[in-house]
Structure formats: structure tokens, C-alpha cells
Amino acid sequence: MKRNWEALVLKAMGGRDFRLTVLEAESVGGAYRRLLVDGGGLLESCGVHPTMWIRLWFDDGGRAHQRAYTLVDPDPATGRFHLEFALHDGCAARWALAARAGDTIDATMQGSAFHLPDPAPRHLYLVGDAASLPAVNSLLDAAADIPATVWLEYADEGERALPVRARAHHEVSWVPRKDEGRYLVETVSAALPVAEDGAHYWIACEAASTRAVTRHVRRTLGVGKHQVTSLGYWSAR
């Protein structure tokens, strides 16, 4: 598989390449595939932080195609972590379905750098969906003692069965995907309180929805830029 211009750009920007090896594969609820992989030195070289993600390279008809995936339960002691794939049509899902122990895939570490603010936030407001749920869970684990309000959009009823690592002081609301995501934006915008000093807002769902919620938080609520982290996890267009 020949690498394309994206690979060259990532390399020029300091991207580091690793080869992952599949150790185990299992189905999750029929709609997801979870792989346990050896990171090939990735965790040792890059460390671990909440919401950590990497770019995987897939063969799409002989052309290189990269997609970003969040690391699930990375273990620096063993160098292993899980990856979860939504099973819809595409080269990534096809690869995950066919993957068996011993299979390998190339990965690039570039662009993932989130760290919880210091001092720690007094409250977290998290907006995500099934795609960003692994990242949400990593935040809830890392900030286990911090109160959090979480909105998760779901497109399929089965997604509500996905595990959320919430504690007693974490409030989680599942919001159905309606009107191309506008319902999530309206729900979150109506529920968010006025700007709070010491709060942090982490917004990572469909790209247009992410932009709309971020705009509301920054412009309408007047939240400072340093209090907001936003990243579109996928695009409906």
C-alpha cells in the first residue's frame, strides 16, 4: 500500500509511526468490533493522556486511507490497548471484521495532546456521542472525583447499551439524533448554565453539531477560550 500526501504532511509535522499487532478480537453488541492490540512501543514513546487518539492506515483499493481512533484502556505496563470500530460500510470496518490475532496495521501518532487543566476543573461539561464515547470514558476515569454533566447523542437505540463510566456525581443524558443533529444542539444549549469560573467544556460529536455547541458556549454564554476543548469526531456530509 503506497502512502499518500497525507502521510508526508504528518511526517513533516512530527508524526511518529508505529506498527500495531492484533492480539484478540471480539464483537460488542453486534454493531461494534473491539480489538486488543500491542502498540509496538507507542505507549512507551508517547505516554498516555485522556482522550488519546491515533491515526490508523487502511488499504482502500490500493490507496492509503487514514482514520482516527481513540485508545481504550491503554496500559503502559504492557504496551497494550483496545480499539473499537463501528461496523458500517467502509474499509476500516471491513478490516476490523476480518482482523485476527497476528494481523498488523500501521499507525501514526500526531495531533493528540489533550491534558486536563491545572488546577483541575470544578465541573466538566461533556458533549459527545457513540463515536467519541471512548474519549468521554477516558475523561470520566481521569477526572473521577470531578462533578460532570454529560450529553451523549445516539443514532440507534442499541448505542444506549454502550458502557458509560459514570460515577454517582456524573449526570449522563442520552439524546436521540434528530433533525441532522440540531436536536442535540438545542438540548445542550437550553440546559447549559451561564458561564462558570473553573468549569471546562469538552465538545466532540458530529462536526456541524460540535461547531454549533462551541459557538453557543463561547459567544452566547461568554465562556473563555481556555475553558473549551472542541473537536468534530465525524462529519455527516
pLDDT tens digits, residue range 136-177?
A: 999 999 999 999 999 999 998 889 988 999 999 999 999 999
Reported for 173-181, long-range contacts at CB under 8 A and 24+ positions apart, including other chains, are: 175/151, 177/129, 177/153, 180/208, 180/236, 181/153, 181/205, 181/206, 181/208, 181/209, 181/212, 181/236
Percent of the chain scored above 70 by pLDDT? 94
Q: What pLDDT score does 31 carry?
A: 85
Residue 111: pLDDT band with limits 50, 70, 90: confident
Q: What pLDDT score does 11 carry?
A: 60
Q: What would the pLDDT profile of 193-223 be if each residue is shown by its tens digit?
A: 988 889 999 999 999 999 999 999 999 999 9
Report the predicted TM-score, pTM, of the whole model to 2 decimal places. Answer: 0.90
Q: What pLDDT score does 21 carry?
A: 98
pLDDT of 103 above 80: yes
pLDDT of 237 above 80: no
- Chain CA centroid to CA 52, Å: 8
